[in-house]
Chain A
Amino acid sequence: MVEQFAKLDIRKDENIVYKRTDLLVDRPLSYCPGCGHGTVHRIIMETLEEMSIQDKTIGVSPVGCSVLAYDFMNIDMLGAAHGRAPALATAIKRMWPDRFVFTYQGDGDLAAIGTAETIHACNRGEHFTMIFINNGIYGMTGGQMAPTTLPNMRSSTSPYGRDVETMGFPLKMTELIAQLPGTYYVTRQAVHTPAGVRKTKKAIRKAFENQKNKTGISFVEVVSNCNSGWKMTPVQSNKWMEENMFPFYPLGDIKVDGKLVETKATAAKE
């Protein structure tokens, strides 16, 4: 009794330094413990709350691990067919130009089956935000090889490692779309450390702010772990990501204010 009273006493507005945003629905996430999706969901929703645009935002969720994103994000959303989120967002933004529109897609969705929709939405310079979660694997279907799977990386459909001779090379979609005149802000981030979370959130804020000026596509890639698909513990998977994913997918801004920037991301050759 005394203890409960003490807790309630502490939970006063002036004592609260951090809480779940109301823009996240209060229900358990469907993601594996350790996965980056939940963190990215949270910082997108915090961004919308800070910008006070919940009532002006329409989101598009993909097919993949985040197929149920609309159950967790407390905003109006549409669930797209596999790969087609940029087509939906194109029409939504064209017909609701005052709304903030974003897509949320994984690497299989955005960089394999949806390649055409991704490239053409970027090339037309649609004025919406694209969030791209890249974990180098098809998570939901059980860890198959993705377009972004690294050379020699094992997956359930490349059980002996990705042989680039027969299975092709990993696709750097973010560098590719940065070349298109319709993209305005292109960046690659990660949420495996508190500093990374802060940087990613800043990037997402910028990507949404850009919609106010109708600048073209703002594209935020988040390199993420998939501890279940990679068959590792969360800690191991984040270490593996740093050692293997980041050299191939270097973090940093690739295009800012419509201009390609010379960073380790663009300078890196493999």
Chain B
Amino acid sequence: MGELRLMKGNEAIAEAAIRAGCDGYFGYPITPQSEVMEYLMMEKPYERTGMVVLQAESEVASINMLYGGAGTGKMVMTSSSSPGISLMQEGISYMAGAELPALLVNIVRGGPGLGTIQPSQADYFQSVKGGGHGDYRLIVLAPASVQEMSDFVKLGFDLSFKYRTPALILSDGAIGQMMEKVELFDPIPRRTEEQLIQQCPWASTGKPKNRDHNIITSLDLDPAGQERVNLKLQAKYKVMEEKEVLYETIQAEDAEYLFIAFGLSARICQKSIDLARAKGIKVGLFRPITLYPFPVKEIAAISKKVKGILVVEMNAGQMIEDVRLAAGCAIKIEHYGRFGGIIPNPDEVVKALEQKIIGG
């Protein structure tokens, strides 16, 4: 068993980054995720592992520092919250286009605009539908516990290097701030220069005599060339959709009704299940863990076994669009959400199930 600690979600992210062998963190303060960089600065990872931690002048600079670091094959990450992630979208698009691995963390707060500093899930569309310009996807992981905040740092890095594309942990202000028990994974040493060059032969590390020069760019002025780039990206996304879908079901075996929720909403739904079952309502939970690739086939299959689905999100109805596309029109699928930083309580979720699905 790994080392056990009581930690905030944001701290777990930071500790996991050091343990995952991350080479560099570049960030800019924003509530409610500032503890990530604060923890890193306090921990002095440059002494523990040689990891670089730098406070940039803006989120625009942070994401472009990531582009620079990732382009040289380094394992780099940043974290921010909604308005900061919006600022990064240009750089994220460039990284997807140049096929660079990196880990991004969004500790979502309520929007739009400056919004609020309280938790929200309103950045679902931005995360899974692109966000920046051009046809690209991110690997999007949605943790529902502090444990997963730690675990998904490692998973996110693994997937981003496997597919040479940025991965995003889509969390929220509540999971970032709340404290839970975490089992930390054992530290993985940072790669040596030789290991890095072996793993990333494409990286710009300095041109030796025996290979052509490596160029990192998202530019191809020839339309036929740029179409080939796009086809290559789409082929990669197709493989991800086939191989990397992650989800979890809870009390779904005998369920007549289903909650579909990710992240914090899924935690709330677990309590709602207990409350509903005490009333004799057989309800279960389907929790997408990868929001992209989305568990399309799995939702299509499980929707055939239930009478209705309530999609619970801390937004005005975003993931429900993907649930409806996956499940089709055979059963009733409705949304329940609170927004602007309000966290729904389990009772109101049960009430929504009764009114919108069972009674509706």
Contact = CB atoms under 8 A, between A and B. Distances in A.
Residue of B24, B98, B204, B208 with most chain A CB atoms under a 10 A cut-off:
B204
B23 interface: yes
A25 B74 CA distance: 27
Nearest to B66: A91
Interface in B55-106: 56-58, 60-62, 64-69, 71-72, 74, 76, 90-91, 94, 98
B26 interface: yes
Nearest to B94: A81
B67 A88 contact: yes
Nearest to B91: A81
B217 interface: yes
B64 A94 contact: no
A117 interface: yes
Contact of A78 (B24, B52, B74, B216): B216
A116 B206 contact: no
A94 B24 contact: yes
Contacts of A55: 206-209
Residue of A58, A77, A87 with most chain B CB atoms under a 10 A cut-off:
A87
A109 to B, nearest CB: 12
Interface residues of B, number: 38
A79 B216 CA distance: 6
Interface string A66-99: 0110110111111111001001111110111001
A67 to B, nearest CB: 7
A147 B54 CA distance: 29
Interface residues of A, number: 34
A76 B68 contact: no
A120 interface: yes
B249 interface: no
A95 B65 CA distance: 11
A70 B217 contact: yes
Interface of B: 23-24, 26, 52, 54, 56-58, 60-62, 64-69, 71-72, 74, 76, 90-91, 94, 98, 204-209, 213-219
Given A76-B204, A116-B60, 9 more contacts: A54-B207, A55-B209, A56-B206, A76-B207, A79-B218, A87-B56, A87-B67, A95-B24, A95-B69
11 contacts: A25-B213, A57-B207, A68-B219, A75-B213, A81-B64, A84-B60, A87-B62, A87-B67, A91-B52, A94-B69, A117-B61
